[in-house]
A and B are shown apart, each in its own frame.
Chain A
Amino acid sequence: MTHDSLTAMWISEPPPSRQALLSAMDAVLNEDRAARDKDRWMQIAGGLAVALLCPALLWCAAHGVTPLVRGGYALMAAGTAILISTHWTYAAWSRKALPGPADSRSQLQKSAFLLARQATLMRTAPLCCAPVFIGTALIGTWIYQQRGATEAYFLWGLIAVAWFIVSVGGVSSGRKLDERRVRMERLLSDLT
């Protein structure tokens, strides 16, 4: 048996049926449509948040009852804008990292580079959310002064829990992305 016969043996498998191909094609086109729809809805939701939430928060920042409340709303508006732009940046990097028709070496280099940036972004999630949480905490301080301790403690507790969850989630996602980047770089070094 020669190497040619090894190749012949490899390609000897009968091709899939036309019916199987048609259903695979339908599945691909449906998946693409679903992914595009999801992207579109995410963009609409982000756009609406920027268009509605930010102006509303800015209005509150301008017309708040005390400087503390105005400062709180201003921080929340800035934080919302930061979060949305961070989300868009992350999504743009994810799209760029999708495998395309580049050669494998270039593709792996690009994907590893983008994964490193995404991991960094995920690790900074607690920082990106900070303006929203600090702004809400300032409103909590106003509640403490005007209404009473119970409501304020409840709000501060919620903020602490949410910030903790975001921090743990961000760090954990960053670590997973980093592990994937390391595997990709190992693959790249094997290839070259």
Chain B
Amino acid sequence: MSRDADDKARFSELMETFAGPIRRLCAAYALGAADREDLFQDIFLAVWRALPGFRGDSSMRTWLYRIAHNVALTWQTRDRRRQSREQPLKNDVAVTGDMDLRRLALNHAIAGMNPADRTLTLLWLEGLSAAEIEDVTGVKSATVAVRLSRIRKQLNPIEVTP
């Protein structure tokens, strides 16, 4: 198999594995459907470009989350994007049942956080440990633990809402 075909196969596999988490990340950073698609595409474009350089020094998951969060944070600082971030939650989320209402509230709470807290929260919600979050963000794991504890308190009302 040629290198290009090999990379494409790996890329396709990566997309299948991580499309869900990356979609959730995009939903937290970009509230409009078009922006979400743009961000999703930007992230996987960066992944595709970085793929030949992946040497397996870290796990594929933390490597991909590093790229994804870097793209999202950079995207956040762009002027034209920021305006769409300020928009209220779109009504393109079909709300059915308590679970979706809580999910909507969670999305809303995450969207209202500052980008740094949002990054830590998203990584925690995806099930990364404090050490892995340190690997992705460069923030010391002790600091991550303290900040996550504060964030969890903020999210308490969503947890107890029926």
Interface residues of A (CB under 8 A from B): 1-3, 5-7, 9-13, 15-16, 18, 21, 24-25, 27-29, 31-32, 98-108, 111, 176, 179-180, 183-184, 187, 190-192
The answer to whether B50 touches A10 (Cβ under 8 A) is no
**Which positions 19-36 of chain B face chain A at CB distance < 8 Å?**
19-21, 23-24
Contact of B19 among A1, A11, A21, A190 (CB under 8 A): A21
With known contacts A24-B44, A31-B41, A104–B77 Cβ distance under 8 A: no
The answer to whether A104 touches B137 (Cβ under 8 A) is yes
Q: Which residues from A are CB-within-8-Å of B102?
A: 9
Q: Which residues from B are CB-within-8-Å of A16?
A: 19-20, 23
Query: In the complex, A2→B74 CA distance in Å?
Result: 33
Q: Would you call B96 an interface residue if the criterion is a C-beta within 8 Å of the partner chain's C-beta atoms?
A: no
The answer to whether B79 touches A29 (Cβ under 8 A) is no
The answer to whether B116 touches A187 (Cβ under 8 A) is yes
Interface residues of B (CB under 8 A from A): 8, 11-12, 15-16, 19-21, 23-24, 40-41, 44-46, 48-50, 53-54, 63, 66-67, 69-71, 73-74, 76-79, 82, 99, 102-103, 106, 114-117, 119, 124-127, 135-139, 152, 155, 158-160
The answer to whether B46 touches A191 (Cβ under 8 A) is no
Return 27 A-B CB contacts under 8 Å, by A number: A6-B125, A9-B103, A13-B20, A15-B20, A28-B48, A29-B8, A99-B67, A99-B73, A104-B66, A104-B139, A105-B139, A106-B138, A107-B73, A107-B74, A108-B70, A111-B74, A180-B77, A180-B78, A183-B77, A187-B73, A187-B76, A190-B116, A191-B115, A191-B116, A191-B138, A192-B138, A192-B139
- Which secondary structure dominates chain A's binding surface? helix
Query: In the complex, A106→B137 CA distance in Å?
Result: 8
The answer to whether A24 touches B46 (Cβ under 8 A) is no
A133 to chain B, nearest CB (A): 30
The answer to whether B119 touches A28 (Cβ under 8 A) is no
Query: In the complex, A144→B130 CA distance in Å?
Result: 73
The answer to whether A13 touches B69 (Cβ under 8 A) is no
Tell me the nearest residue of chain A to B21, going by C-beta. Answer: A11
Query: In the complex, A72→B103 CA distance in Å?
Result: 68
The answer to whether A7 touches B77 (Cβ under 8 A) is no
Q: Which residues from A are CB-within-8-Å of B76?
A: 183, 187
The answer to whether B12 touches A25 (Cβ under 8 A) is yes
Q: Which residues from A are CB-within-8-Å of B48?
A: 28-29, 32
The answer to whether A1 touches B159 (Cβ under 8 A) is yes
Query: In the complex, A16→B44 CA distance in Å?
Result: 15
B101 to chain A, nearest CB (A): 11
Q: Which residues from A are CB-within-8-Å of B74?
A: 99, 107, 111, 184
The answer to whether A28 touches B45 (Cβ under 8 A) is yes
A74 to chain B, nearest CB (A): 41
Q: Which residues from B are CB-within-8-Å of A192?
A: 138-139
Tell me the nearest residue of chain A to B76, going by C-beta. Answer: A187
